A and B are shown apart, each in its own frame.
Chain A
Amino acid sequence: MAVQAVAGATPEPAARPEAVAARRSWFAGLRSAKTITGLAILGVFVVAGAFGPMVWRTDPSALSDDVLQPPSGAHWFGTTQTGQDIFAQVLVGTRVSLLVGVTAAVMATVLSLIVGLTAGYVGGLTDELLSALANVFLVIPALPLVVVLAGYLPTRGSLTVAVVISLTGWSWGARILRAQTLSIRRRDFIEAARATGERPARILLFEILPNEMAIVASSFLFTIVFAILTQAGLAFLGLSDVTTWSWGGILYWAQNNQALQSGAWWWFVPPGLCIALIGTALAFVNFGIDEYVNPRLRVRGFHPRKSRRVRRTAPKQVVQDAGAAGDVLLEVTGLRVDYGDGPNAVHAVDGVDLVLRRGEVLGVAGESGSGKSTLAYAITRLLRPPGQVVAGEIRYWPTSAGPVDVLKMSDAELRAFRWAQLAIVFQSAMNSLNPVLRLREQLGDALIDHGPGMTPGQRQKRIAEVMTMVGLPTDRADAYPHELSGGMRQRALIAMALVLEPDILVLDEPTTALDVVVQRQILTKIMNLREQLGFAVVFITHDLSLLIEVADRIAVMYAGRIIETSTAKQLYEAPRHPYSDGLLHSFPLLHGPRRVLTGIPGAPPDLRLRSAGCAFQPRCTQAMAACTTTIPLLSATNLPTEAPDHQVACLLYQDGEGR
């Protein structure tokens, strides 16, 4: 009897082991193949630009008799029409192009940072003026402006060209940084920093700016590319100093001397290739930057799970053919849902058996990570990759025919099944409604799809009917979702769910985002409608107190499993599983004595770190030695016989082990 000493002062257990990996993988971003390739190419260019002209001592401007020679040992990239060495030109050109690119990018980035951060953080008139300025620069076509500017400049050296380029290249970054600053400024942690008494400048530089480093870096890299391209363009047009060798300059001379026509590919291919390569390299480097800057991305992938053999308490229960009783509507057996594949797969739903009877309200209670929403998605077959059902059956029993496995339905069958037989209402009504369609159109869609015989008149009649049914004024049928209040949107969703009179209504936290009064109104409405129309409800929520009030039966989920199921009354009066018991003592009541409540020590489980035994064991005050090695299965053993529906997955109640 090794009782886990976790009760009492609730010391929070130390954080997860993945944390250790975080710091070690600080340079994880640099380990990706793309980033390494990018850095390698970039390195070659930098070395070539910096030291190339010193090693390859041929003067790029020196004329010789080797006119228009293809690449050879003496002239690696061949020669021009005047016998100049193209390799030497490219080396010097690399230096010039990189210098112009980096200088212009530094200047443009500084400019865009100043404008973007100031506009975003100060707001008001400053923002409007700076944004207007940035917009003006954004719509002016860059190259023509550069052409005009370059045409009026007294000198056309590399630095001048860089200045001109940075003047046209900053506005794009400034716009993005402004938008980013605006959105970060509204985040809680900025307000929290203000509330601690931080000065605005410090907030800007130490709280906001670091969060934008990925954008700053990528904008910097792309400005380099932009600058190199623009410089090449200017040089190609002959608008920069054509006596300075640059990639664009080489192309200018190649073009002027009809290199293309004379088939001297070695003249124009190397500079062109250089431009393309450096663009690719910078794009590759950009991939790694996000991971380098964002601590959240430094941990890559899921933490490998220890694969330990798990002993199960009992052989898999033989599921009695409940359908024979006639009142079973939906029967879930052995359902398992994984996110991801292989050894790193997370078992979000891990062997769930569930029965929904006709006309009943089945409550599924659970906290974050319990798998309750995944269960809802699996039942409705709305699961998206990487989520996948790996085992189990979901049998639906229509009134007239034999059972159908929902998981084996074809797409057409599924379309007919969903909505007409089973409808779902999600938590976020705004996200579930189409913002650009009127309510009438959204309600009508289901009728068009599923009721082919209906005339438009009948459809409008039905729409008015369901709207009245859920308590929506019919004159709101032509409203768009944003014109409705949160409560009305949720009603609209329920109307949509009920428009085809389904047998099953799945509610996934339908009222969590709503206020208590509105929540109560909507729940009362649903329950009244259920009595009227006779559909069954699967009500998924974290709010156990609410479930006890409205549900007939409740299944409590923890770490992907159902750990207790019973009637609502039974669960409230005599919860068996320590977790259900703890949960029931986790919310204060409106009546009765005001006693000290403790909640449950520890935190909900991280499904990525699976334990070999009962998932609740680390938080359990009654844990035994066997709990760390054995996963208890749901069974009715050792429970009072007067509650045949009461099942619990806990070793305290199982034969031979514990009491």
Chain B
Amino acid sequence: MTTQSDQPVLEARDLIKHFPVHRLRRRLRGRAEVVHAVDDVTLTLRSGEVTALVGESGSGKSTIARLLAGLYPVTSGTIEIDGATARGTRGRHFREHVRRVQLVFQDPFGSLNPIHTIAYHLRRPLKVHGYPTTRAALVELLEQVNLTPAEQFLTKFPHELSGGQLQRIAIARALAAKPKVLLADEPVSMLDVSIRLGILNLLAGLVKSLDLAMLYITHDIASARYFASTTLVMYAGRVIEGGPSEELVQQPAHPYTRLLLESAPDPDRAGTGPDLLDAGEPPSLVDPPAGCRFHPRCPHAMDICRTEAPGTTELRPGHWTKCWLYSASTEPVPAR
């Protein structure tokens, strides 16, 4: 089952997604206002590997998941699956796309239709994508997500199951299309702490056994470290740092990544942690700051940060950031 994972399964280049702001307001102000939800995002997913996309709410990480899943049309940029460009968010091309790219949603209580049984939820994707919908096929899907005895679950309605069980059903439904890419949008954040690892470990096992390319979207950088080999950090619609998870967590480069790590709960830390009172809040994406979008909150902001967006700087093989501190071949700021 091991494949050479050098060839990316999914490759997204220069993704841009702008959402128009309410039409009436646009007319009143006489200009087209947009929310810059995602700007210039490039990422690749490889078989058998988990890539984490870490960011706060409103950073655009869920929008990326929906762009990659084909649910929203891109404003510009390309998404390639196995080298072929994905086109269309409806019709035949769309179904072709979703057969290979499947999405697991954040809220297991909301992502299953309350009036349909579990069997219905699993049968539909099988039918849509032309696979046999026998009882054995449904049972196999449930066993894949460790729901046993599977027969018992088929006739149940979503409200009869717990959050953890529902999320397993949602994963099984995504697997029904036999995708190559699995996008998981905060798959455990709505679940109780004690059952989160069960789901994460299940996903990790599926990535290995089915050779899936997986994008794990989360706000919890510690779980990215635990679960993903590569981590990308998003801020205000842009990916600002990426690299091997362990290296990124232990040696963060971008000031925002550092802020995120300092803010994360850490039982090993004594007291209340660093004083981050003046760190401010993320900017509005209707009118994002010029230059680097983090500069209003950045303790190291320089003049150039206010006017020009930084390019990509490779720090070490595979570890890169978009920050002026590192780009002008000046000595890097020592990590704290």
A interface with B by C-beta (< 8 Å): 9-12, 14-16, 18-19, 22-23, 187-189, 191-198, 200, 207, 210-211, 293-296, 367-368, 471, 485, 487-488, 515-521, 523-525, 527-528, 542-546, 548-550, 572, 579, 582-583, 586-592, 594, 596-604, 606, 619
Contact yes or no, B198 A187, CB < 8 A:
no
The complex places the Cα of A587 from the Cα of B198 at a distance, in Å, of 11
How far in angstroms is the closest Cβ of chain B from A458?
A: 27
Contacts beyond the supplied A12-B146, A195-B174: 17 A-B pairs with Cβ under 8 Å: A189-B110, A191-B71, A192-B105, A192-B111, A192-B173, A195-B69, A196-B98, A197-B125, A210-B116, A485-B281, A516-B219, A520-B273, A544-B193, A549-B267, A588-B227, A589-B266, A597-B197
Contact yes or no, A603 B195, CB < 8 A:
yes
B28 located at the interface, meaning its Cβ lies under 8 Å from any Cβ of chain A in the complex: no
How far in angstroms is the closest Cβ of chain B from A213?
A: 8
The complex places the Cα of A18 from the Cα of B219 at a distance, in Å, of 35
The complex places the Cα of A488 from the Cα of B280 at a distance, in Å, of 10
Q: Which 5 A-B pairs have the closest CB atoms?
A: A599-B197, A588-B226, A520-B263, A515-B56, A600-B194
The number of A-B residue pairs with CB atoms under 8 Å apart is 232
Contact yes or no, B281 A518, CB < 8 A:
yes
- Residue ID in chain A nearest B192 by CB atoms: A367
Can you report 6 residue pairs joining A to B where beta carbons are below 8 Å apart?
Answer: A22-B160, A207-B116, A572-B267, A590-B249, A590-B266, A597-B201
**Complex contacts, B107 vs chain A, CB 8 Å:** 188
Given contacts A523-B272, A527-B272, A545-B266, contact A367 B148 (CB under 8 A): no
B112 located at the interface, meaning its Cβ lies under 8 Å from any Cβ of chain A in the complex: yes
Given contacts A15-B153, A19-B156, A295-B159, contact A590 B115 (CB under 8 A): no
B331 located at the interface, meaning its Cβ lies under 8 Å from any Cβ of chain A in the complex: no
The complex places the Cα of A37 from the Cα of B105 at a distance, in Å, of 44
B309-324 interface with A by 8 A CB criterion: none
**Complex contacts, B333 vs chain A, CB 8 Å:** none
Contact yes or no, B197 A598, CB < 8 A:
yes
Contact yes or no, A604 B192, CB < 8 A:
yes
**Complex contacts, B222 vs chain A, CB 8 Å:** 587-590
How far in angstroms is the closest Cβ of chain A from B138?
A: 14
Contact yes or no, B177 A601, CB < 8 A:
no
Task: Find A604's partner among B110, B162, B275, B281 (CB 8 Å cutoff).
Answer: B162
Select the residue from A194, A515, A520, A544 with max chain B CB neighbours within 10 A: A520
- Residue ID in chain A nearest B224 by CB atoms: A588
- Residue ID in chain A nearest B89 by CB atoms: A194
**Complex contacts, A517 vs chain B, CB 8 Å:** 56, 259-260, 263, 276, 279
B2 located at the interface, meaning its Cβ lies under 8 Å from any Cβ of chain A in the complex: no
Of B5-13, B30-38, B73-81, B163-171, the stretch lying at the interface with chain A is B163-171
Given contacts A197-B94, A550-B272, A594-B225, contact A516 B277 (CB under 8 A): no
- Residue ID in chain A nearest B110 by CB atoms: A188
Contact yes or no, A211 B114, CB < 8 A:
yes
Contact yes or no, B159 A582, CB < 8 A:
no
**Complex contacts, A210 vs chain B, CB 8 Å:** 113, 115-116
The complex places the Cα of A18 from the Cα of B66 at a distance, in Å, of 36
- Residue ID in chain B nearest A590 by CB atoms: B222
**Complex contacts, B115 vs chain A, CB 8 Å:** 210-211, 293-295
Select the residue from B129, B147, B149, B193 with max chain A CB neighbours within 10 A: B193
The complex places the Cα of A189 from the Cα of B103 at a distance, in Å, of 12
B268 located at the interface, meaning its Cβ lies under 8 Å from any Cβ of chain A in the complex: yes
Contact yes or no, B152 A590, CB < 8 A:
no
Contact yes or no, B71 A586, CB < 8 A:
no
Contact yes or no, B124 A196, CB < 8 A:
yes
Contact yes or no, A188 B105, CB < 8 A:
yes
Contact yes or no, B128 A187, CB < 8 A:
no
How far in angstroms is the closest Cβ of chain B from A478?
A: 20
The complex places the Cα of A16 from the Cα of B156 at a distance, in Å, of 10
**Complex contacts, A295 vs chain B, CB 8 Å:** 114-115, 157, 159
The complex places the Cα of A527 from the Cα of B128 at a distance, in Å, of 55
Contact yes or no, B148 A11, CB < 8 A:
yes
B95 located at the interface, meaning its Cβ lies under 8 Å from any Cβ of chain A in the complex: yes
Task: Find A294's partner among B112, B114, B271 (CB 8 Å cutoff).
Answer: B114
B102 located at the interface, meaning its Cβ lies under 8 Å from any Cβ of chain A in the complex: yes
Contact yes or no, B113 A211, CB < 8 A:
yes
Task: Find B272's partner among A14, A524, A600 (CB 8 Å cutoff).
Answer: A524
Given contacts A517-B259, A525-B277, A598-B197, contact A189 B112 (CB under 8 A): yes
**Complex contacts, B125 vs chain A, CB 8 Å:** 196-197
Task: Find B157's partner among A12, A22, A588, A596 (CB 8 Å cutoff).
Answer: A22
The complex places the Cα of A583 from the Cα of B267 at a distance, in Å, of 13
Contact yes or no, B173 A196, CB < 8 A:
yes
The complex places the Cα of A197 from the Cα of B173 at a distance, in Å, of 12
- Residue ID in chain A nearest B266 by CB atoms: A590
The complex places the Cα of A515 from the Cα of B265 at a distance, in Å, of 12
Contact yes or no, B164 A12, CB < 8 A:
yes
**Complex contacts, A528 vs chain B, CB 8 Å:** 272
Contact yes or no, A542 B192, CB < 8 A:
yes
**Complex contacts, B225 vs chain A, CB 8 Å:** 588, 590, 594
Contact yes or no, A599 B268, CB < 8 A:
no
How far in angstroms is the closest Cβ of chain B from A190?
A: 8
**Complex contacts, B148 vs chain A, CB 8 Å:** 11-12
The complex places the Cα of A195 from the Cα of B182 at a distance, in Å, of 11
Contact yes or no, B105 A583, CB < 8 A:
no
B85 located at the interface, meaning its Cβ lies under 8 Å from any Cβ of chain A in the complex: no
B137 located at the interface, meaning its Cβ lies under 8 Å from any Cβ of chain A in the complex: no
Contact yes or no, B198 A10, CB < 8 A:
yes
Given contacts A14-B149, A19-B160, A587-B193, contact A596 B201 (CB under 8 A): yes
**Complex contacts, A603 vs chain B, CB 8 Å:** 162-165, 192, 195
